[in-house]
Amino acid sequence: MSDNVGVPVYQTDVIVMGAGIAGLVAANRAAQLGLKVVVLEQGHEDQYLCNTRYTGGTFHLCMREITLDPSLLFDLIRDTTAGFVTEPLAQLLSKGGGRLIAWLQAEGIRFLRASASEYHKWVLAPPGRSRPGLDWEGRGGDVLLRTLESQLLKRAGQLQRGVKVESLLDQQGTCVGVQATAKGSACQYHAKAVVIADGGFQCNPSLVRQYVSSQPAKLKQRNGGTAFGDGLLMAQKMGAAISGTAHFYGHVLSKDALTNDQLWPYPYLDALVTAGIVVNSSAQRFTDEGRGGVSVANAVAQLDDPLSAMCVFDEAIWKGPGKNGLIAANPHLVNEGATIFVAPTLQELALKAGWDPSVLQLTVKAYNEALVAAGASTVLMPSDEVPRHNKKYKPLPIQEGPFYAVPMASGITYTMGGIVINAQAQVLKQDGQVIEGLYAVGAATGGLEGGPQIGYVGGLAKGGITGLAAAEHVASQLGLAPPIR
């Protein structure tokens, strides 16, 4: 810990770095348990931007209803991540979903059922966006943040805007506060615990290049534009372990989303991708579309040129799965001016898209033949040996013209990897030991999503559940709450 003579020093019990859902849940629960809390938010605006502000608002675990039986959810989380999530963290998530919903409702947060789907049972009210492009003011995420801020202030907590945390204060291996800049001046905040809740590293080109994609400028930032991995870098300086940094949650978008704001965060192309095929610049398949849009977005990001991939499908897919979703690809891609190549034959489609017609025809032929040959099998093995699972998403043949090709871009929403934590949200070192006084929650953490299957567990759920865990452990350490079991 450094001493800066003349630098203002503020004392509190808990410092929370970041005011998205994870940070404000942690802050409110800590204040509720009798702790003095200060939330430091780098944004200056009343409605500072972050991913929670933009969220569609669905609380789920692995695309299933968040209040299902914990044993079912535990198995689902482990299966979705192919065992990547440790048992204690899987238990934390599976047991915490129903409790998080009840806690939020007690805080004044309202939910609605957005559709008949089980997945849409718990969606923030007022309803989320219903049209392409950004549409967040007065919607569920915006209202949630304003409601939780109001609750924090009622509990004598503080949310200080325009404060950028520069470093953690390290006293013989224990985190005792932060060094920050507020209104252009240096200051320190001393505390018994620091909670990192700054939302991942997706907006840091250097970190994205290091861990995710060699071409970060060719990814679409499908997020609030405010998460630069500061907390991750600070934690690493204190010896924190990191995990799962190669993967992210996001969706495949029209390539034109890079220049047309009406094409992000919706519509995305997932329904087309999982029904048809995705090909590279040589018109060859290169990834398993049956893993879903999140997996495909990661695979596209890892290409030497992440803007070289296209989705290929036919008229039946365009008029079928293409119309699925609240903001469907059909007709919104057309309405918002996305590039779509359309031709009556595969040969003509290839010429429009810049491919060798014979290669595209062989790719589609191999795929169609694999559909027939697979029968009841859950894995298709086309002649190019790129597997295609069909257990979760039904692949459809590409055989009825006109045929379509849509240039794609990976939209990165938040990074799945980050700081390793235990089930109390305490930050861990490489050897598994706790860094005393330091916690991490939400998208700043690693080990709760990802793995070999790039398993998506759920950002809002992860943020809220880990936020509660962090606050309650701090309070228990200080004798203000029963130990968390």
Domains in the chain with CATH codes: 9-245+416-477 (3.50.50.60), 251-411 (3.90.700.10)
Look at residue 391 in the predicted model and tell me its pLDDT.
85
| Beta strand ranges found along 123-184 (DSSP E) | 123-124, 158-161, 163-171, 174-182
Instruction: Match 């907006």 to its residue by tokens.
Output: 203
Q: Report, in angstroms and rounded to the nearest whole number, the Rg of the chain calculated over CA atoms.
A: 23
Q: Is the pTM of this model over 0.85?
A: yes
Q: In the predicted model, what is the mean pLDDT of residues 331-349?
A: 98
Torsion-angle region of residue 384: left (phi > 0), alpha (psi -120 to 50) or beta? alpha
Does position 456 have pLDDT exceeding 50, yes or no? yes
Pair 134, 119: CB distance under 8 Å: no
Look at residue 297 in the predicted model and tell me its pLDDT.
98
pLDDT tens, residue by residue, 242-281: 999 999 999 999 999 999 999 999 999 999 999 999 999 9
Q: How confident is the model at residue 4 (pLDDT cuts 50, 70, 90)?
A: low
Pair 430, 479: CB distance under 8 Å: no
CA distance 267 to 382: 29
Least confident interval from 64-78, 242-256, 354-368, 377-391: 377-391
Least confident interval from 19-33, 368-382, 459-473: 368-382
Cis peptide preceding 387, ω within 30 of 0: no
Q: What's the angle, vertex CA 48, arms to CA 59 and CA 54, rounded to 5?
A: 35
3-class SS of residue 420: strand
pLDDT tens, residue by residue, 176-227: 999 999 989 999 999 999 999 999 999 999 999 999 999 999 999 999 999 9
Q: How confident is the model at residue 2 (pLDDT cuts 50, 70, 90)?
A: very low
